[in-house]
């Protein structure tokens, strides 16, 4: 009979240790879930909806240099000294 009582005590201790470890593991998972994939902040500026290409051609017989300047609505002018804007970019 003594051996049976010792076995019951060992079973109780084993269950307690297993449940304590499982509870600790579940607690750690719950605490770490928000940090796995943190939400990203939305950018204030949006990406333009497409690509715009502007080309300038002139007669090859003329020995001249022409600077192309373009400006989209509600944007800054883009040209030689200012190489990029929201809609146009020279690079």
Decide: 68 and 57 in contact? Cβ < 8 Å: no
Decide: 25 and 31 in contact? Cβ < 8 Å: no
End-to-end Cα, the chain, rounded Å: 89
Entry pTM: 0.39
Tokens standing for 42?
């939305």
pLDDT tens track for 78-90: 888 888 888 888 7
Parse the chain into domains and list their residue ranges: 1-39, 44-91
pLDDT tens track for 6-51: 678 888 899 999 999 999 999 999 999 988 887 777 766 666 566 7
Rounded CA-CA distance 75/21 in Å is 60
């Amino acid at each position: 009979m003594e051996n049976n009582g010792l076995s019951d005590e060992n079973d109780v201790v084993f269950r307690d240790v297993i449940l304590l470890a499982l509870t600790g593991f579940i607690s750690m998972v719950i605490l770490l879930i928000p940090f796995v994939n943190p939400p990203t902040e939305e950018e204030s500026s949006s990406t333009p909806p497409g690509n715009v290409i502007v080309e300038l051609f002139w007669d090859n017989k003329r020995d001249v240099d022409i600077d192309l300047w373009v400006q989209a609505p509600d944007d800054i002018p883009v040209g030689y000294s200012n190489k990029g804007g929201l809609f146009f970019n020279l690079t």
